[in-house]
Amino acid sequence: RSNAEKFEFQAEVSRLMDIIINSLYSNKDIFLRELISNASDAIDKIRFLSLTDKEILGEGDTAKLEIQIKLDKEKKIISIRDRGIGMTKEDLIKNLGTIAKSGTSAFVEKMQTSGDLNLIGQFGVGFYSVYLVADYVEVISKHNDDKQYVWESKADGAFAISEDTWNEPLGRGTEIRLHLRDEAGEYLEESKLKELVKRYSEFINFPIYLWASKEVDVEVPADEDESSEEEESSEKTSTEEEGEDEDSEKKSKTKTVKETTYEWELLNDVKAIWLRNPKEVTEEEYSKFYHSLAKDFSDEKPLAWSHFSAEGDVEFKALLFVPPKAPHDLYESYYNSNKSNLKLYVRRVFISDEFDELLPKYLNFLKGLVDSDTLPLNVSREMLQQHGSLKTIKKKLIRKALDMIRKLAEEDPDESNDKDKKGMVTKSDGKLTSLDQYISRMKSGQKDIFYITGTSKEQLEKSPFIERLKKKNYEVILFTDPVDEYLMQYLMDYEDKKFQNVSKEGLKLGKDSKAKELKESFKDLTKWWKSALSFDNVDDVKVSNRLDDTPCVVVTSKYGWSANMEKIMQSQTL
């Protein structure tokens, strides 16, 4: 096209597209739910803006908040259209090709090891899944602030953008046209699309329509040519005999034929699961809803959920989930943002999933939503953010979230966790234990909670650091998950008992009458040893109270990283 401008995909995006195109992944279905999810996000955005500016929606069809799917069997095209916010020319350039998101490289990396393409939506690159089924894609888009543009690409490292002077004007929104590969012909079957929408997009909050064929009976005049002379003569006979008038005779000269017509068929029923009575929602429905909410289409069920409503001054309904696995960006979202993974709705209208402080940072791994009847609808996000009710909502959410997690912990931990991986205690018979149980078993006179961190239970059980403790029958918690190391930087005490890493200096094991004496008698040796190693290599040399068979051990300083943490940090520096 003469007015087309060419762009190259950002390198990571290009790699991602190569992976998708060459993928042998058999479940190509996922493209549809990614496109529907994008359409739904785009409608959410325009609906939110329309709360404070009615005009923005436009008039007539343009104002309809719905998603439409059309098939062209001859040209092998599927198009998916929404009347959402649309994209300006600049949006098209940035969002579909030149700006890589943090998830882009994370996803590429994942796909090179043990990746499941199914998770693409969670990494924020779901759009590119269109190339699982299409070899040429057009994105036609109209944003209120710009003209209508066409983005197009054959996934050959480049895309083109042109001002749209040939397609029908969209009013506002986006139409995505997938020119299907030969082997993707099944997606031109209406029944296939209906099945996919039912399976993956059941919980989309806007109506999804398919331009579907329908066989109808039509009365048509009986064809003149077909009516033979015989028929005519027999009719004449009957008229003569029964004396019917000519009009009714004409009426009987019609026949019924099957004709194929097309009409918009609604594929989903737009219901909000959180408004239903929890007693009437099945486990499977919660599970499916979680998958669609979290864009987590693994087969795993959420670990736990809590569905409740609050009444009184501040009314809201909420649904919280503990995901089956830690999200891929757990640390990133903890350190770099205050955003929780909760979606905020006000009276069924989606407001934002970027609301700070609906939950404290440490609960950022939860997924879910809050729908409030108390918050005002027609104010800006900033105003809402400061609304007094939010504090009350937050308080209740925290309480319910902690209840849910506590219940999860009370269930037999060995049943719900992988026994060989998580923290364990030397005395608990190889089973997981709670801190309360640990405290109940503490020796008299023991002040601290002892623990050690490392990579496996076997390794830690042999560690010289716990020789003496074992002999003296002290219990030591074995932390074997990398996250434990991070946790212990923040967790200083529990129930007034301090945590003591037994591989760090400062270990105190009750009163030891001989300690002072030993220290004195080895004074010359420790002094000499320290000078022999020099200050650069060690801080101090001391008589140890933690060894039994092993002659010596290197202990880390109280405030520095443990050796295990050093190892974790090293593995993260590429």
- Which residues would be at the binding site for ligand ADP (CB under 6 A)? 34, 38-39, 41-42, 82, 84-87, 95-96, 124-127, 174
**Nearest distance from residue 384's CB to ligand ADP, in Å?**
22
DSSP 8-class letter at 262: E
Four-CA torsion 420, 421, 422, 423, nearest 10 degrees: 70
**Nearest distance from residue 558's CB to ligand ADP, in Å?**
44
| 524 closest CA partner among 541, 545, 546, 536 | 541
| Nearer to ligand ADP among residue 42 and residue 397 (C-beta) | 42
**Nearest distance from residue 10's CB to ligand ADP, in Å?**
13
| Nearer to ligand ADP among residue 85 and residue 390 (C-beta) | 85
Total interface residues for Mg ion by CB under 5 A: 2
What is d(CA 337, CA 361) in angstroms, rounded to the nearest whole number?
A: 8
Does 40 help bind Mg ion (rule: CB under 5 A)?
no
| 263 closest CA partner among 216, 209, 189, 212 | 212
Residue type, 424: M
How do 477-479 and 316-322 pair as beta strands?
unpaired
- Whether the CB-CB separation of 364 and 353 falls below 8 Å is answered with no
359 binds, among Mg ion, ligand ADP, none (CB under 5 to 8 A by kind): none
How do 477-479 and 449-453 pair as beta strands?
parallel
- Which strands, in side-by-side order, build the sheet including 67-72? 5-8, 158-163, 148-153, 134-142, 173-180, 77-82, 67-72, 208-221, 254-266
88 binds, among Mg ion, ligand ADP, none (CB under 5 to 8 A by kind): none
Member of 28, 36, 38, 291 binding Mg ion (CB under 5 A): 38
85 binds, among ligand ADP, Mg ion, none (CB under 5 to 8 A by kind): ligand ADP
| Nearer to Mg ion among residue 128 and residue 209 (C-beta) | 128
| 439 closest CA partner among 511, 495, 508 | 495
562 binds, among Mg ion, ligand ADP, none (CB under 5 to 8 A by kind): none
- Whether the CB-CB separation of 475 and 427 falls below 8 Å is answered with yes
| Nearer to ligand ADP among residue 137 and residue 344 (C-beta) | 137
Four-CA torsion 527, 530, 535, 538, nearest 10 degrees: -130
| Nearer to ligand ADP among residue 96 and residue 390 (C-beta) | 96
Member of 86, 103, 126, 173 binding Mg ion (CB under 5 A): 126
42 binds, among ligand ADP, Mg ion, none (CB under 5 to 8 A by kind): ligand ADP
**Nearest distance from residue 41's CB to Mg ion, in Å?**
7
What is d(CA 238, CA 242) in angstroms, rounded to the nearest whole number?
A: 6
Q: How many CA atoms lie within 13 A of 232 on its CB side?
A: 7
What is d(CA 441, CA 383) in angstroms, rounded to the nearest whole number?
A: 52
**Nearest distance from residue 299's CB to Mg ion, in Å?**
21
319 binds, among Mg ion, ligand ADP, none (CB under 5 to 8 A by kind): none
| Nearer to ligand ADP among residue 33 and residue 457 (C-beta) | 33
| 503 closest CA partner among 464, 532, 472 | 464
What is d(CA 27, CA 118) in angstroms, rounded to the nearest whole number?
A: 8
Query: Contact region for Mg ion (CB under 5 A) — 34-42, 108-116, 414-422, 459-467?
Result: 34-42
**Nearest distance from residue 409's CB to ligand ADP, in Å?**
32
| Nearer to ligand ADP among residue 96 and residue 384 (C-beta) | 96
| Nearer to Mg ion among residue 103 and residue 126 (C-beta) | 126
**Nearest distance from residue 475's CB to ligand ADP, in Å?**
47
Query: Contact region for Mg ion (CB under 5 A) — 126-134, 274-282, 345-353, 424-432?
Result: 126-134
Q: How many CA atoms lie within 13 A of 490 on its CB side?
A: 5
| Nearer to Mg ion among residue 39 and residue 273 (C-beta) | 39
What six digits make up the tokens of 439?
A: 């405290």
| Nearer to ligand ADP among residue 10 and residue 213 (C-beta) | 10
Residue type, 430: G
| 273 closest CA partner among 264, 265, 263, 283 | 283
> What sign for the dihedral angle of Cα 440, 443, 444, 445?
negative
92 binds, among ligand ADP, Mg ion, none (CB under 5 to 8 A by kind): none
What is d(CA 20, CA 120) in angstroms, rounded to the nearest whole number?
A: 10
371 binds, among Mg ion, ligand ADP, none (CB under 5 to 8 A by kind): none
| Nearer to ligand ADP among residue 81 and residue 546 (C-beta) | 81
87 binds, among ligand ADP, Mg ion, none (CB under 5 to 8 A by kind): ligand ADP
Strand partners, 369: 319, 343
Quick one: residue 235, left, alpha or beta (phi over 0 = left, psi -120 to 50 = alpha)? alpha
**Nearest distance from residue 30's CB to ligand ADP, in Å?**
11
What is d(CA 57, CA 84) in angstroms, rounded to the nearest whole number?
A: 9
**Nearest distance from residue 99's CB to ligand ADP, in Å?**
9
**Nearest distance from residue 296's CB to ligand ADP, in Å?**
13
**Nearest distance from residue 119's CB to Mg ion, in Å?**
12
Query: Contact region for Mg ion (CB under 5 A) — 125-133, 340-348, 374-382, 539-547?
Result: 125-133
| Nearer to ligand ADP among residue 96 and residue 180 (C-beta) | 96
**Nearest distance from residue 43's CB to ligand ADP, in Å?**
8
What residues line the site for Mg ion (CB under 5 A)? 38, 126
